[in-house]
Amino acid sequence: MSDPGSDFSAWIGRQDSTDDDLGLAAALAAAATLGDGSERFTGGSALPPLWHWFYFLPRVPQAGLGVDGHPQRGGFMPPIPFPRRMFAGARLRFHSPLLLGQPARRVTTIRDVRLKSGRTGSLAFVLLHHGYHQGDRLCIDEEQDIVYREPGPALPAPTVVDWPPLPAAACARIVTPDPRLLFRFSALTFNAHRIHYDRPYAIGEEGYPGLVVHGPLTAVLLLELLRRQVTRPVQEYSFRGLAPLFDLAPFRLVCTPEDGGYALAAQGPDGTLAMSARAVLAELAG
Ligand SMILES: C/C(=C\C(=O)SCCNC(=O)CCNC(=O)[C@H](O)C(C)(C)COP(=O)(O)OP(=O)(O)OC[C@H]1O[C@@H](n2cnc3c(N)ncnc32)[C@H](O)[C@@H]1OP(=O)(O)O)C(=O)O
């Protein structure tokens, strides 16, 4: 494994907090990006699961951005020297919905920094915990895996194949990840990571064959597919990004009921499993 040459233990336990008044504008913009925009929100509406990602945005000034467009490392995030950052996965528990138009706070803690050796090379994982609070309620517990990867060979563009037939009882959606969708998602999350909108950078500097689909976009589209079919609220959601998706060809989202929950998957145009996820719904009281 390449040695990133530093001990990052001093970063473990670091905390940061961000306040937000959960205004309506971001929810309406998200509804237009993720669906047909017909969903109505007013003050006091429950924020759909995962839509908290459109709030608590990073307020780093322009001068504080690194070359990749993320806040420079060595501030809150450890100064890991591997250049290629990816959102690798997350695990969430929804205790009670965040309500629009009411002040809320996100408290972020770095829980771990761990070096691993993967099939694609050396990986440095940062495990973040986010607690989302409104009044005296803990509304959402979330763990995120952020990975930093050493430089590596350029990835080829995927070869398009036919997807396998859907399992019985599954539902699916095909998504065309064009630059307009990626731009809107970057804007919703105030994420300046250049792999999502700057094609020469994504190809020339990070070795991808096209613009990279945000992991959180795939994760939220998967959960939207489920949310639009069920009435019970989502209680748990976890996902792992296994292979990147690009703006080069459509990908398929599949949602299949399974024991006690739902299995969700994003299948790349080449048939690879790009994201695997699982959701559990809350029991209704009474
Ligand atoms: C937003 C945002 C950025 C983005 O949205 S980037 C686009 C979304 N993310 C992706 O597309 C990631 C897709 N995944 C991959 O490319 C690969 O899975 C990854 C993360 C590069 C790892 O691949 P490897 O083949 O090198 O890894 P291995 O399968 O050999 O596993 C090695 C160890 O790492 C652990 N691990 C692997 N994947 C994950 C994961 N997704 N989450 C957590 N841990 C993972 C694996 O368990 C192995 O650990 P051991 O302890 O068993 O050694 C933004 O930047 O904000």
CATH number of domain containing 166: 3.10.129.10
Confirm whether 80 is domain-assigned: yes
Contact of 185 with 196, CB cutoff 8 Å: yes
Q: What ipTM does the predicted assembly reach?
A: 0.98
Residue 5 domain flag: no
Task: Tell which atom from ligand 1 comes closest to the C-alpha of 244.
Answer: 11
pLDDT of residue 284: 77
The answer, yes or no, to whether any atom of ligand 1 lies below 6 A from the CB of 275, is no
- Is residue 127 in contact with ligand 1, taking CB distance under 6 Å? no
Q: Is residue 53 part of a domain?
A: yes
Distance CA 144, CA 126 (A): 8
Task: Answer whether residue 30 is part of any domain.
Answer: yes
From 56, 123, 145, 198, the mutation candidate for ligand 1 (largest count of ligand atoms within 8 A of CB) is 123
Report the pLDDT averaged over residues 263-276. Answer: 98
Residue 105 lies in a domain: yes
Q: Distance (Å, rounded) from C-alpha 102 to C-alpha 201?
A: 39
Mean pLDDT estimate for the chain: 96
Sequence-distant (6+) residues with CB within 8 A of 61 are: none
Overall number of domains in the chain: 1
Residue 258 belongs to some domain of the structure: yes
Q: Is the CB of 120 under 6 A from ligand 1?
A: yes
52 CB near ligand 1 (under 6 Å): no
Indicate whether residue 116 lines ligand 1 (CB < 6 A): yes
Cα of 108 vs centre of ligand 1, distance in Å, is 21
How many Cα neighbours within 13 Å face the side chain of 208?
24
Give the domain range for residue 174. Answer: 12-281
Mean pLDDT of 251-260: 96
What percent of the chain clears pLDDT 90, i.e. is strictly above it? Answer: 95
Q: Please report whether residue 187 resides in a domain.
A: yes
CB atoms within 10 A of CB 103: 11
pLDDT at 37: 84
1 lies in a domain? no
Q: What is the pTM of this model?
A: 0.97
pLDDT tens string 130-186: 999 999 999 999 999 999 999 999 999 999 999 999 999 999 999 999 999 999 999
In three-state secondary structure terms, 119 is coil
Our answer on whether the CB atom of 115 is closer than 6 Å to any ligand 1 atom is no
